[in-house]
Structure 1
Amino acid sequence: MPQLTDEAATERAPTGGGERPGTWMTPQEYGASRAALWTGACVLVTDGDGRVLVQSVDYRSDRLLPGGAVDAGEAPSAAAAREVSEELGVEDRYPRGLAVDWIPADTPGFPPETRFPGEVLYVYDGGTWSPERIAAVRLPAQEITGIDFVEPADLASLMEPGDARRALSALRARINGGGAVLLEDGRPTAPTALDRLGVLRTRRSPHRGTWHCGPVPEHLPAGDPAGWLFAPDGRVLLLIARATGEARLPPPTAGATAGGVPLGYRYEARRAHPRTAARLTALPPGPDPAYARLLATPEQVRELSDWGLAGHAELAALHAARARLALPVATRTPLTELPDHGARW
């Protein structure tokens, strides 16, 4: 920071002769040298299926997250709460930040007469809204013309590119559980494994069949078995397709296991899809370079999947099995990518 001096101060150095050492500025000069930026705030809200709330407005064709400008003297979190109240009729507070984005001055879409100087935009976590809360939304008489909950992968086609990058980065930060992230034009300055692998950039495959505890009945055709394979800390193995970013559970044979427990099965498209749980003792070298192997909490796996109501029942069965395996409840931490050469526990 430059040294500030009064305008009336002499330009002569204290010891006489020459210029004052260092960088000296008057308060007016210093104020004029600082970057001037707009400030905005928005809120990321999802429904129980992991879809993102976007709203339509009467002054542009693309979609937006709820939010808007921070007024003079207003805290960004207060602006986020005010905007959601004004736009959706929902009163709440949003103390948890997901992202802070620096938006450059040359971002397209701003009329020249606005002299857009760039913006710092705060993204807050609005949480998961229940059907009752969604039904309570009340739109104003003007500006907001509708809301929709959309697949994360559809944000890119519905929003301005920077807005879509920001929303998806904020959603990944929420799922990752590592705290708020810093963005520059919607791109993380320190990408996580979810960012590097492009998770949620393509539509999630819906698996909304009903959940049934117990073994697969003999009269049902069975296929696509999957395993909830636990590391000692209570996290489970998750596969991410490098080409698409799609998340999926591994087959039960993905690693060396102990204490296998049958969970039940999903019934979908006239087929049963069995699920088992087991303690993972070792992971061989990566057999398929098309997939990255990560450790995630069971809840993170569900948030990256489109399972419908059956996902709740399956998680309940899983946690009962975890307790029988004497494994801890996993703390939400950033997803960890496992090395290609494998691991042992």
Structure 2
Amino acid sequence: MPADDGREPAGLMAPQDYARSRAAFWGGAAVLFTDTEGKVLVLDPAYRPGKLLLPGGGVDQPELPSDAAVREVAEELGLSVRVHQLLAVDWVSKANPEYGTVCGFPGETVSIWDGGVLEESDIARIRLPENEITSFHFLPPTQAARRMRPIERRRMLAALRARIDRAGPAVLEDGETIGLGQALQRLDVVPRTAIGYQDIAWHPAMEPAAGLPVKQAWVWAFDPLGRVVVLVDPRDGHVVLPGGTVETDDDGPKAAALREAAEEAALRLHDAAYLGYLLDPDGAVYGPGTGANARARYIARIDSLGPTAPDVATGITYSRLLVSPAQASELLGLGRAGAEQAEYAARTAAARWGIPLSPPQAAIEIPHTGMAALLP
């Protein structure tokens, strides 16, 4: 049809009818910030007491969502920031029951942006607007989630997983991940902030002092590409390294770590080597009355992973992931000391065995049937 022909093509809707048929949605934008320990920044709004929110708000008529995110952070926190990356998009339907009765609500698309890690100097500059935000908190993800509305809880956790996974934005509808999603989303992984571990000292390559008991031992188990195995606890979505308590019949901490790796994750390992230890000076992490103790860390190479099975000690069947050491540290929630430990483990494995340093990448779920021949 010629460009200047004003006739409507047969079978197509008139422009005004087509316009009326399209969905009309509001826009919202929020920003995910964490501190150096991995705690999430949440706000206590005066207009919704007791239900915490990520910083953010509505997208105005002339705005792009990223611009709205930056503006809302300036208004609610007094901080001038750039948003680094889109982490999640949620398409909220008009009839969503979790939104209740909102005047004129036509549905909404909410984007969650990565604001990065706030240092102490950044936090000191936060200024809250009067009569709108009563307080702000940095909370472990699990605690923050408990104090949010369900849809906002799911959205926050999806954004946090996407930040760690580096596999692109999470896509949600009414707060629920669409399709199978990435492994962290599919398994409902909840990144931790390991209370107590943030302040205990990491001693690389050092043996515990004489008389200091080693209560637990864990292993950084490497595949040939430099990724490590972590386990997902189905009860709470938390991630742990293979390993556990040193029992009286174990032939030392290394044997305990290898035994636990086999029992929890069906991991066959070799070339296990001592890496260092964490000092728990008063036993607060392990349990009241324990006293000073050490937590040993080892590295090893993976021969194979057998089929998943319940842990003989707990009856729990863990899901298993391959992630980079840096991502393992983020999921474990051990703070800067954990990041140093992860980097030391990766560099030690590279020096000992020529294993490459693995960049952060999408987490890989290990099949329930297992994986063989992981050695090059």
Query: TM-score w.r.t. structure 2 length?
Result: 0.81
Partner of 2:153, secondary structure, is: helix
Q: Supply the AA of the counterpart residue of 2:344.
A: A
The correspondence of residues 1-345 of structure 1 with structure 2, limited to 5 A, is 9=7, 21-22=10-11, 24-61=12-49, 62-108=51-97, 112=101, 114-190=103-179, 191-200=181-190, 206-208=196-198, 209-213=200-204, 214-251=206-243, 252-253=257-258, 254=261, 255-268=267-280, 269=283, 270-288=292-310, 290-324=317-351, 325-343=353-371, 344-345=373-374
User: Matched residue pairs, number?
Assistant: 332
1:15 corresponds to: none
Shift of 1:160: 1.3
- Mark the CA change 1:204 to 1:104 in structure 2 (over 3 Å): closer, same or farther: farther
Partner of 1:299, secondary structure, is: helix
- Say if 1:201 and 1:244, in contact at 8 Å, map to a contact too: no
Q: Supply the AA of the counterpart residue of 1:329.
A: L
- Mark the CA change 1:264 to 1:113 in structure 2 (over 3 Å): closer, same or farther: closer
- Mark the CA change 1:336 to 1:127 in structure 2 (over 3 Å): closer, same or farther: same
Deviations 1:248-273 (A, max 9, x none): 11134233334433110112211111
- Mark the CA change 1:226 to 1:73 in structure 2 (over 3 Å): closer, same or farther: same
How far apart in 2 are the matches of 1:217 and 1:113?
Answer: 63
Partner of 1:228, secondary structure, is: strand
- Say if 1:211 and 1:314, in contact at 8 Å, map to a contact too: yes
- Mark the CA change 1:229 to 1:241 in structure 2 (over 3 Å): closer, same or farther: same
- Mark the CA change 1:280 to 1:202 in structure 2 (over 3 Å): closer, same or farther: closer
- Mark the CA change 1:50 to 1:203 in structure 2 (over 3 Å): closer, same or farther: closer
How far apart in 1 are the matches of 2:191 and 2:38?
Answer: 14
Structure 2: tracts of 5 or more residues without a match = 244-256, 262-266, 284-291, 311-315
Partner of 1:223, secondary structure, is: strand
Shift of 1:202: 8.2
Shift of 1:168: 0.8
Query: TM-score w.r.t. structure 1 length?
Result: 0.88
How far apart in 1 are the matches of 2:222 and 2:127?
Answer: 44
- Say if 1:77 and 1:95, in contact at 8 Å, map to a contact too: no
Shift of 1:210: 1.9
Shift of 1:123: 0.7
How far apart in 2 are the matches of 1:26 and 1:314?
Answer: 64
- Say if 2:32 and 2:40, in contact at 8 Å, map to a contact too: yes
- Say if 2:215 and 2:294, in contact at 8 Å, map to a contact too: yes
Structure 1: tracts of 5 or more residues without a match = 11-19
CA root-mean-square deviation? 2.5
Q: Once structures 1 and 2 are overlaid, which stretch shifts more, 57-66 or 153-162?
A: 153-162
Q: Once structures 1 and 2 are overlaid, which stretch shifts more, 259-268 or 229-238?
A: 259-268
Q: Once structures 1 and 2 are overlaid, which stretch shifts more, 98-107 or 189-198?
A: 189-198
- Say if 1:54 and 1:64, in contact at 8 Å, map to a contact too: yes
Same amino acid, percent of matched pairs: 39
Q: Supply the AA of the counterpart residue of 2:18.
A: Y
- Say if 2:37 and 2:193, in contact at 8 Å, map to a contact too: no
Shift of 1:223: 2.3
Shift of 1:152: 1.1
